[in-house]
Amino acid sequence: MPAARKTKKSTNPVHDWMLLAEPYDHRLDAATPFWIGVDAWPQETPLEVHIHRGLELGVVLEGCQEFRYGGSALELRRGDCWLVSMWEPHAWRTKEAPAKYVVIVFLPDAIEEMALDSQPWLSMYEAPVARRPRTVGREMRAATLAIAEDMERESREQALGWETSIRLDLLRLLILLRRHWRPDPRTSKAFGLHSNALARIMPAIKLAHERPGAGADPAQAAAACGLSPSRFHSIFRQTMGISYGRSCRRARLAYAAHQLLATDFTIEDISQQAGFVDGSHLHHQFVKQYECTPAEYRRRHRDRAQESASVRFATTVPRGTRGT
């Protein structure tokens, strides 16, 4: 698989700003729908903030990782996992070393032809962070570790068919997480669907994330999927657990969060870029999603960037292979 690379540098004068929510290009496409990395850290590391367009699934193999996103701070240990949605800013640091993680960043296309029958797996990523799947119980932890260790071995040895094996392991992990997940009954009614439901709405999902600032156009999304508006809305809600409009709003908020961290644009300018009426509209929706104002979000992460930079300049910390 091609190595991950950064696509641009920020002009913000904050110390070591390139550590803060830089978009990573994993060069994902139909031919290369996933990227996998294994990080091994011999010592604790400062906080790093990342963002990318692929979905992310990671598992801690050794040590302890602090993970922050969506207003939540998680302490993840051996066998714990995390899920990050597209364009969702997330921060991590190694809290206890030595540490080792396996991380896969992928497009939904990576497994859409291997659908989870009636399992609405994408809704796990659309759920608020506090309601996303967690590793619970000894048996689930052991199963999660077994799959993650197989992924690590396949990516390291790269024997014949290793990419297919990793995609199957990814599917197994998603099935395992979905089996033990209890979605919010108020937002999820996705049961009994035909296995190709995800493939039917995939063009709409791509529209929402590739052009987040354009706003939700249900008619265009339905047409892209070859469905009538009513049928499209029904299938989308059943598959994702939320409406298409709400999914688009989350994509626009994630894009706004990225712009807050990666640029010096005013909040008013960012609100327009992200498709909101004005700064007040963005403020209201942002507080509901991230539990803080856009200004607080920007200030909080810049403070962390300065703290991270001072630690990094004081001690030489080797860069790992992590590209997420």
pLDDT: which is higher, 25 or 319 = 25
CA distance 183 to 311: 39
CB-based burial, 212-237: b 16+ in 10 Å, e otherwise: beeebbbeebbebbebeeeebbebbb
Supply the pTM of this predicted model: 0.64
Q: Regarding the domain with residue range 5-314, which homologous superfamily does it belong to in the CATH classification?
A: Regulatory protein AraC (2.60.120.280)
Contact 71, 297 (CB under 8 A): no
Provide the residue ranges of all domains of the chain, joining segments of one domain with +: 5-314
Model pLDDT for residues 173-213, shown as the tens digit of each residue: 999 998 898 876 655 444 333 445 666 787 887 777 777 77
Question: If you compute the radius of gyration of the chain from its CA atoms, what whole number of angstroms results?
Answer: 19
What confidence score (pLDDT) does residue 188 get? 46
CA distance 150 to 206: 30
Model pLDDT for residues 279-310, shown as the tens digit of each residue: 999 999 988 877 788 998 888 766 655 554 44
In this structure, the chain runs to a length of 324
Model pLDDT for residues 99-141, shown as the tens digit of each residue: 999 999 998 777 764 555 555 677 788 777 888 999 999 999 9
pLDDT: which is higher, 34 or 51 = 34
